[in-house]
Amino acid sequence: MHVVAQKIFQRKSEVVMFLAAISILLSVATVALTGDFLFWKIAKVFYLIGVIFILFDK
Amino acid sequence: MFELFGMEFYQLLSFGRQLGLSVMGGASLWAMVFLYIAHNKKVEDSSGIFLTWIGLRMRWLVIGGGLLSVAMWTILTMLIPVAAHEGVTLITVREGVLNAMNLMTPLYLAIGAISIFALVKYKNPYVLFNNKKGYSWFYMVTFILSSIAVSYYTDLRGLPANEIIFHIFHGFHSVFTLGTVLCLDFMFLSTQKTPFAQKHIFPLFPQISKVIWVGLSLDLLSTLLIYPEAIALTPRFYFAQIVVGILIINGILLSGILTRRILKNIEEGHKEGSLKWEWFATVAGAISITSWSAITFVDQFHDMNISLEIMFAVYAAIIGVLIIGREIWSKLDRRAEEMHMNM
């Protein structure tokens, strides 16, 4: 599992963006069940960090 | 007036206008960049020829997008006064769109005129750019016009600053996202049968992807300006959020492992294995286009009342149709192959 993940994600930006996507998908569940937007906000933070990493990717 | 599942006709026209302007803006931006890079290449560097070729080929996207947006704008401005005052909750939205369209009249007339000019000059595309200085006046003008038009989709006069910034980012991001994704796909399809052209054009893809990520961030972060007032927990909201999640995962794979593999295959010469990666890229490209179009589409229809299941069924069906369509395109489009043969 770890090896496969390493093959797919070779940059920090890809890992952070993946976390952003997972947070968005989680937020759909939490918003629907509890009305809480915490994961939705976390996703935006991950996304912002991911974009900054991407801009510096070679 | 036409209304289906809570979707009104003027919203459908507004989607067509947004789509046309996004394609026009995205194609103008990338054609301008390619022609500039090509101009700065040394004479013996053949990549300049391919970049000029793809840059000039993109004028068809600019013309198509421009004419589509002008057609939608014409129907919108003719139709909306008749349709006004139908529903209390939509009056502001509809009037906002109408006011914006009326204010932008000179701009749409200019888009129509310049698109027709490029269409008339289709046999001599070299009049569209300055060969000596390496910039294209045509793409520069179309980029500025489409960027303003796509950003000013509703009347911004008198709105609070946070709402003005939100609307501008919300409109403009389509140039960087939907428009650029369609351009990427156009380049991918245009060079599918020409490994030599791919070798020069594909290395630019990771840089182009950066602009798409920035475009998505304009939209994602600007929603914080209108949170929580503008959020309504409808199937439309959940659909858009899930599609954004899919888009990000798809984007990581497409601009990451898939681009890396394809570039490696191109460098090593096309082998059997490269077809598998190109097919994955085709699927990822179809997901990307459908997702961006779907988000832009549902965004226009505030009162859409379609269930989440149906939205995803349509979404999956469109991805399937696009994959089949791309296979057919790659079999029919021989121009790129002809150019390669003539080299």
- Condensed to tens digits (0 to 9), the pLDDT of residues B184-207 reads 888 887 877 777 777 788 888 888
Cβ of B238 under 8 Å from any chain A Cβ?
yes
Cβ of B248 under 8 Å from any chain A Cβ?
yes
Q: Please compute the mean of the pLDDT values over residues B264-288 and round it to a whole number.
A: 78
Give the whole-angstrom CA distance, residue B332 versus residue B326: 10
Q: Please compute the mean of the pLDDT values over residues B269-289 and round it to a whole number.
A: 79
Contacting residues of A for B249, CB less than 8 Å apart: 18, 21
> According to the model, what pLDDT value does residue B115 have?
94
Interface of A with B in 3-42 (CB under 8 A): 7-11, 14, 17-18, 20-22, 24-25, 27-28, 31-32, 35, 37, 40
Cβ of B317 under 8 Å from any chain A Cβ?
no
**For the ranges B8-22, B102-116, B193-207, which has the lowest average pLDDT?**
B193-207
Among B25, B27, B39, B52, CA closest to B200: B52
The yes-or-no verdict on residue B82 having pLDDT over 50 is no
The yes-or-no verdict on residue B338 having pLDDT over 70 is no
Q: Please compute the mean of the pLDDT values over residues B209-232 and round it to a whole number.
A: 83
Contacting residues of B for A22, CB less than 8 Å apart: 245
The yes-or-no verdict on residue B323 having pLDDT over 60 is yes
Among B76, B71, B59, CA closest to B23: B59
Q: Which residue of B has its CA nearest to A14?
A: B252
> According to the model, what pLDDT value does residue A52 have?
93
> According to the model, what pLDDT value does residue B131 have?
65
Contacting residues of A for B210, CB less than 8 Å apart: 54-55, 57
Give the whole-angstrom CA distance, residue B297 versus residue B281: 24
Q: CA torsion, points A40, B280, B339, B63, in degrees to nearest 10?
A: -30
Q: Which residue of A has its CA nearest to B211?
A: A55
> What are the distances in angstroms from CA B155 to CA A22, B3, B21, B85, B295?
36, 23, 17, 17, 22
pTM above 0.95, yes or no: no
> According to the model, what pLDDT value does residue B85 have?
40
**For the ranges B32-36, B77-81, B82-86, which has the lowest average pLDDT?**
B82-86
Three-state SS for B222?
helix
Tokens read off for B305: 């009342």
The yes-or-no verdict on residue B223 having pLDDT over 60 is yes
B217·A51 Cβ contact <8 A: yes
Residue with token string 């302007």: B21
> According to the model, what pLDDT value does residue B127 have?
78
